[in-house]
Chains A and B, each alone.
Chain A
Amino acid sequence: MSRFEFYNNDGLRIDGRRSNELKNFESSITTTSNFANFSRNTSTNTTYLQMGQNKVLVTINGPKEPTNRTKIDSNKATLSTNINISKFSKVNRNTNKSNLPDKQTLEWEYEITQLFSTIVVLETYPKSTISINVTVLQQDGGVLSAIINCITIALINNSIQIYDIITAVSIGIVDQKHFLLDLNHLEEQFLSSGTIATVGGGDQVSLLRIRDKFPLDLIEEFMQVGLQGCSVLKEIITKQVKDMNLNKLVEIQ
């Protein structure tokens, strides 16, 4: 028994969800300079995602000619990710005075570039770079999953060709038998947890990141929970993306 109660007798969690329920998922498209460009949907648009209390902003720069000539790949585009986690994003303010990103952020940057360089159709943009800029405004457990979801939506909004939609959720384990989907920050503190990302809401796992130790025989169920969460999340994302871009369809016709 842990000293922290993760759900009460009715099976409800701290924030009122059930064990297999996702957080509320709201995404929207905004333009960085809504009025200055005099066109509501210019090439530089920002995607905002609120997944529970996670608040993430993603801007995608490119595809464009790289400023650094040495980075040119004549066959395909090069991806680069930059994650900026703001110091006020957590409950306790980050007291680290240096502006350099910490070890975990660097790890995430590497993982995300690896993940999305398989998903973006890089061959269609030779000799160019695509840079992804992520800003985390608020963290509430499962930030990595929120970042991955937001980047997917941003890529679609920027009409960059991708093979499929990637969705990610975080999962936690209670007492080595129960699994919780889409953790909040309290649950993430006390539980052994991990993040799983799948391609197109199917069975193809593209990222599996486990933070802590837990028995290996739990991993099958652990992944199954994640896959189901991802497949639901994929439907939500497609619906929201279509709704976001509906007004542009009217113009085409």
Chain B
Amino acid sequence: MSSNTKILTVIKHIDNNVNITDNLKNFNANVNEDYDFSSSDEEDVNMEEKDSDISDDEDELENKKLINQIISPGDLVIKSSEYMKGHNTYTTQEHFEKSNTTEDGNTKSGEEELNIYSSTLGVLSKINKLISVTNINKNLYQAEIGDHIIGQIVEVTSAKKWKLNINGNNLATLQLSSINLPGGLLRRKNEQDELNMKQLLKVGDLINCEVQGVHASGNDINLHTRSLKYGKLRNGALVKVKMGLIQRKKTHTHFFNNNSIKIILGCNGFIWVSYERAPIDSVTKDKGSESIKTDITRIEQDTSFEIYSDINDPNIDLKTRILISKYVIIIKILAFNNLVINEQRINSVYELILSYNRNSGGMPNNSGNSKDVLFLLNDPEVMKDIGYQLVQGEKMRG
């Protein structure tokens, strides 16, 4: 045992002649017990997840393999001068003058060795000669240019800026010049707009935006909403999930249920579920094709004023509200089971929920009301069960 060498007996028992080796054995046993306790806890969790398909010994072996992959802070990752340090690593430069220590003059004198250490709990990732450690617990959002994210306004500053909470360690800024103002795209911003800033976007508003620039090593983030697909959010609900459950993809807006439900998967772990009837609406408004120019400007004005309104659409009835909350619960189920959220999975969970309704319909104390069914889905065990079924279904398909 490696710990055997480290532990030395500390007390010299003068009165009692206790065996040193005996003492050591006891100490080791104590350490092992501690370790066994925690590992047995972990096994239980895994057993539940895998439902005892695999025998315990194989499970333990697998766990040990995985544990060996994890690097803890302070561990020496690599000792070489060839590699570069990436994220979550730090270096200490040690100057070895081997000619001083060894009398043989065959080694290079004054050789620089670069020790790369890890600074978080994570897994090693190596790209060519760049060494970095990827975090196991991804808590905070690290912005990259072009990310589609959702932010919440925290304050309106005097310097033509809004400050947004985007789940990072610093607040992001949205400048007045980088939003679409009501009254057309091409318009100069004047002082009146500056005074009206609080009317456009208030504290607490949710905004669908894109990262325009990242400065000062990811701590100074600029956003913009200069596109029709971005802007203020309404008619829906926000879900916050853990970082890492949403992966960067080409598109982050998805439509479900015959294009009636729109889900925006923000890169920063904020998800917006809303009701939208956009495609039909634009067709009905474009009736008069004769006086196009005036109409277009009018529509632009209407829509852009609509963009910043606070009032939800009055046409949303109870059915669509229930539909929205259904999709919210789907996302919650996926997040609860720590599964990566994407379009396919949301669809498959929706199907699972429909069949789950039927299953519970056979139960005696079910009134058949859809509200009750939604309430039933909020149960952690049901969530776990659905997640398990989903994983099994995905395994079957391969």
In the assembled complex, 18 residue pairs joining A and B whose CB atoms fall closer than 8 Å, in A order, are: A20-B11, A20-B23, A21-B26, A22-B30, A39-B245, A127-B219, A128-B170, A158-B139, A159-B137, A159-B140, A232-B6, A232-B31, A239-B35, A242-B72, A243-B41, A247-B45, A247-B49, A252-B136
- Give a binary string over B44-58; 1 marks a CB under 8 Å from any A CB, 0 the rest: 011001000000000
Tell me which of B106-114, B291-299, B332-340 binds A.
Answer: B332-340
Contacts A18-B23, A38-B239 given: A242-B139 contact, CB under 8 Å?
no
A158 to B38, CA, bound (A): 20
Contacts A18-B27, A43-B139, A239-B35 given: A126-B219 contact, CB under 8 Å?
yes
A249 to B31, CA, bound (A): 25
Please report which residues of chain A, range 230-250, place their CB below 8 angstroms from some CB of chain B when the two chains form the complex.
231-232, 235-236, 238-250
Number of interface residues of A (CB under 8 A): 67
The answer to whether B74 and A165 touch across the interface, beta carbons within 8 angstroms, is yes
Chain B, Cβ-Cβ closest to A129: B169
The answer to whether B39 and A243 touch across the interface, beta carbons within 8 angstroms, is yes
Q: Which residues of B contact A162 (CB under 8 A)?
A: 73-74, 119-120
**Is A121 on the interface with B (CB-CB < 8 A)?**
yes
- Give a binary string over A208-244; 1 marks a CB under 8 Å from any B CB, 0 the rest: 0000000000000000110010011001101111111
The answer to whether A38 and B66 touch across the interface, beta carbons within 8 angstroms, is no
Contacts A161-B119, A162-B119 given: A20-B27 contact, CB under 8 Å?
yes
- Give a binary string over A1-40; 1 marks a CB under 8 Å from any B CB, 0 the rest: 0000000011100000111111011100000000101111
Q: Which residues of B contact A121 (CB under 8 A)?
A: 90, 119
**Is B115 on the interface with A (CB-CB < 8 A)?**
no
The answer to whether A236 and B6 touch across the interface, beta carbons within 8 angstroms, is no
**A-B complex: 3 closest residue pairs judged by Cβ atoms:** A164-B74, A38-B332, A63-B169
A34 to B201, CA, bound (A): 32
Chain B, Cβ-Cβ closest to A164: B74
A37 to B243, CA, bound (A): 12
Q: Which residues of A contact B134 (CB under 8 A)?
A: 252
Q: Which residues of B contact A243 (CB under 8 A)?
A: 38-39, 41-42, 67
Q: Which residues of A contact B46 (CB under 8 A)?
A: 247
Q: Which residues of B contact A24 (CB under 8 A)?
A: 30, 33-34
**Is B121 on the interface with A (CB-CB < 8 A)?**
yes
Chain B, Cβ-Cβ closest to A121: B119
Please report which residues of chain B, range 10-39, place their CB below 8 angstroms from some CB of chain A when the two chains form the complex.
10-11, 13-16, 18, 23, 26-27, 30-31, 33-35, 37-39
Please report which residues of chain A, range 27-70, place their CB below 8 angstroms from some CB of chain B when the two chains form the complex.
35, 37-43, 62-65
The answer to whether A179 and B70 touch across the interface, beta carbons within 8 angstroms, is no
**Is B389 on the interface with A (CB-CB < 8 A)?**
no
Number of interface residues of B (CB under 8 A): 71
Please report which residues of chain A, range 155-187, place their CB below 8 angstroms from some CB of chain B when the two chains form the complex.
156-165, 177-179, 181
Contacts A40-B336, A63-B140, A158-B137 given: A238-B72 contact, CB under 8 Å?
yes
The answer to whether B240 and A37 touch across the interface, beta carbons within 8 angstroms, is yes
**Is B179 on the interface with A (CB-CB < 8 A)?**
no
Chain B, Cβ-Cβ closest to A19: B11
Q: Which residues of B contact A251 (CB under 8 A)?
A: 244, 338, 340
Contacts A35-B380, A179-B10 given: A163-B140 contact, CB under 8 Å?
no
Contacts A20-B23, A238-B72, A242-B121 given: A159-B135 contact, CB under 8 Å?
yes
**Is B345 on the interface with A (CB-CB < 8 A)?**
no
Contacts A21-B26, A126-B216, A162-B119 given: A240-B38 contact, CB under 8 Å?
yes
Assuming A121-B90, A127-B170, A179-B11, what are 9 further A-B pairs, CB within 8 angstroms?
A21-B30, A43-B243, A157-B121, A159-B137, A159-B139, A160-B120, A181-B10, A228-B8, A244-B38
The answer to whether A200 and B219 touch across the interface, beta carbons within 8 angstroms, is no
The answer to whether A159 and B45 touch across the interface, beta carbons within 8 angstroms, is no
**Is A125 on the interface with B (CB-CB < 8 A)?**
yes
Q: Which residues of A contact B240 (CB under 8 A)?
A: 37
Partner of B136, one of A127, A200, A245: A245
Most buried by A among B23, B33, B73, B135: B73
Chain A, Cβ-Cβ closest to B240: A37
The answer to whether B16 and A10 touch across the interface, beta carbons within 8 angstroms, is yes
The answer to whether B137 and A228 touch across the interface, beta carbons within 8 angstroms, is no
Contacts A41-B242, A245-B137, A247-B45 given: A163-B74 contact, CB under 8 Å?
yes
**Is B7 on the interface with A (CB-CB < 8 A)?**
yes
A245 to B63, CA, bound (A): 11
Q: Which residues of B contact A199 (CB under 8 A)?
A: 74
A62 to B169, CA, bound (A): 7
Q: Which residues of A contact B7 (CB under 8 A)?
A: 20, 228, 232
Chain B, Cβ-Cβ closest to A37: B240
Contacts A10-B18, A11-B16, A228-B7 given: A249-B72 contact, CB under 8 Å?
no
Q: Which residues of B contact A20 (CB under 8 A)?
A: 7, 9-11, 23, 27
The answer to whether B30 and A246 touch across the interface, beta carbons within 8 angstroms, is no
**Is B174 on the interface with A (CB-CB < 8 A)?**
no
Q: Which residues of A contact B336 (CB under 8 A)?
A: 38-40
Chain A, Cβ-Cβ closest to B41: A243
Contacts A43-B140, A164-B73, A242-B72 given: A249-B34 contact, CB under 8 Å?
no
Chain B's nearest CB lies how many Å from the CB of A73? 12
